Amino acid sequence: HPSARISGITPHGKDGWEIHFAAMARRQAGDDILMLSVGDHDFDTPSATVEACIAAARAGHHHYTQLAGLPSLRAAMARVAGEAAGIATTADEVIATPGGQLALFAAVQATLDPGDHAVMISPYYATYPGTFRAAGAEFTVVEARADDGFEPRADAISAALRDNTRAVLINTPNNPTGAVYSRQCLEGIAELCRQHDLWLISDEVYWTLPGGKTHLSPRALPGMAERTLVVNSMSKSHGMTGWRIGWLTGPADLIARLVSLNLVTTYGLNDFVSRAAIQALDNAWGIDEIAERYATRRRAFLEAVRGIEGITVRGSEGGMYVMLDISGIDLDCERFAWRFLESERVAVMPGLSFGEAASGHVRISLCQSEEVLREATERLRRFVASYG
Ligand code: PLP
């Protein structure tokens, strides 16, 4: 039988993704389902990136790379990370990973021993609990309240700290809520981390989608560069989800230690994908177009949804998702999602999949065309009216 360590990562099986899998199965069987459940773009990677990858493969870049990533890739990632945070960043403060998920895994492995404790914020990205469990770490979930625009309060985080707390994990712009944390919120969290000598793991994979705001990274706050680990990725920013390329930024001595994790897990990244990634980073391929596309979709969707009685929206400033407050309708979030799928053929995620704080909500992904989103809004209007 499998080890307790592996079985313990997702002890509840599919962990809230049942609706998504059911919708996928119906779609594959030919049913016309609008898939607003996952966060993967409906468009392809920019063609310049694809061409760069083909050229690199043709040029013979078929070999192992340095374990921490090609030096020129790390340099490009450091430059982008530095610009995103507004703080000088060197290549030795960056380690390349196959996607942000592995960067997150590395950050948790690097900062928590079995039995150590961490704090994370709910609603959260669905892989967070499993990532802590894989490290044998304990964690407390602190709720960010809808009334606060889904921004966590520093005093709530403070109340969750224990003697063995080593790290706090935050995510801004946020999945699933779309909240973009204010400077005041980040300063409060940074203050706690300095006071209690904690690591701050900051998941910033949506850094190019901060809504109307400017992206703020807590790494740039006073005294934080030495205790912040930033999870980053080209999946969302550069339209490269399936390429699996991301990185972790942090203090050079900790990053150097993480080379040993790459040694025993990935043994480095794909050579020709790395070469294409360098060019995509250097030329910012796709960034502005993708950001503009999501901003337009968000505006149009929010406008359409605001006219539906019984539905309210909070948070939802940036990133790729919108949380709909459905507590005015006489259905809990899971029943709502299942019935919406059954009667209107639209797949959305029940809020509970992202933690208790999101009960009474469903998450809509903006990863579909405006036309699909418009059609989904019409179906939502009809569905809600039938419960009015
Ligand atoms: N962090 C958050 C908040 C996410 O939403 C995702 C993907 O959806 C990831 C990390 C991991 O993304 P990837 O591994 O594709 O970089």
Predicted local distance difference test score (pLDDT) of residue 388? 67
| Domain end (from 232, 251, 283) | 283
Residues 151 and 231 in one domain: yes
Kindly report which listed range (111-125, 222-236, 349-363) carries the lowest average pLDDT score.
Answer: 349-363
Does residue 242 belong to any structural domain of this protein? yes
Tell me how far apart the alpha carbons of residues 10 and 361 are, in angstroms, rounded to a whole number: 23
Do 218 and 71 fall within a single domain? yes
Coil, strand or helix at 354: helix
Q: How many distinct helices (H) and strands (E) make up the chain?
A: 13, 13
Between the CA of 100 and the centroid of ligand 1 the distance, in Å, is 5
Cα–Cα distances in angstroms (integers) from residue 180 to residues 153, 204, 250, in the given order? 14, 10, 22
Q: Cα–Cα–Cα angle for 78, 291, 96, nearest 5°? A: 25
**What pLDDT, on a 0 to 100 scale, did the predictor assign at position 11?**
78
Are 263 and 306 in the same domain?
no
| 326 is a domain residue | yes
CA of 377 to the centre of ligand 1 (A): 26
Residue ranges making up the domain that contains 333? 4-45+287-383
| Ligand 1 atom nearest residue 320's Cα | 5
Among 41, 101, 353, which residue has the most ligand 1 atoms within 8 Å of its CB, making it the best to mutate?
A: 101
Domain end (from 247, 267, 283): 283
State the pLDDT confidence band at 27, using cuts at 50, 70 and 90: very high
Verify that 316 and 196 share a domain, yes or no.
no
Mark whether 28 and 108 lie in a shared domain.
Answer: no
- Phi/psi at 95 (nearest 5 deg)? -125, 130
Ligand 1 pocket by Cβ (under 6 Å): 39, 99-101, 104, 125, 171, 175, 203, 205, 233, 235, 241, 246
d(CA 132, CA 115): 10
* Mean pLDDT (whole number) for 213-241: 97
Q: Is residue 243 part of a domain?
A: yes
229 and 330 share one domain: no
- CATH number of the domain bearing residue 270: 3.40.640.10
Give residues with Cβ within 8 angstroms of 207, minimum separation 6.
84, 173, 215, 217, 232, 237
Average pLDDT (241-252) is: 98
Q: 344: domain CATH number?
A: 3.90.1150.10
Residues 39, 124 within the same domain: no
Is the separation of the CB atoms in 50 and 265 below 8 Å? Answer: no
Tell me: the pLDDT tens digits for 165-216?
A: 999 999 999 999 999 999 999 999 999 999 999 999 999 999 999 998 999 9
In this structure, the answer to whether residues 192 and 87 fall within a common structural domain is yes
Q: What does the pLDDT read at residue 212?
A: 87
Residues 213, 314: one domain?
A: no
179 domain-assigned:
yes
Please report whether residue 113 resides in a domain: yes
Residue 388 in domain:
no
In a domain, 84, yes or no: yes
Q: Which of 283, 309, 325 is the last residue of a domain?
A: 283
Give CA–CA dist 104/215, Å, rounded. Answer: 19
Q: Give pLDDT, residue 40.
A: 93
What's the whole-number mean pLDDT along residues 325-337? 93
The pair of three-digit structure tokens given for residue 64, joined into one six-digit string = 């192992």
Sign of the alpha-carbon torsion through 340, 346, 352, 358? negative
> For the chain, how many structural domains are there in total?
2
On whether both 237 and 332 belong to a single domain, the answer is no
Residues 157 and 193 in one domain: yes
Is residue 278 located within the same domain as residue 294?
A: no
Q: Residue 315's pLDDT is what? A: 76
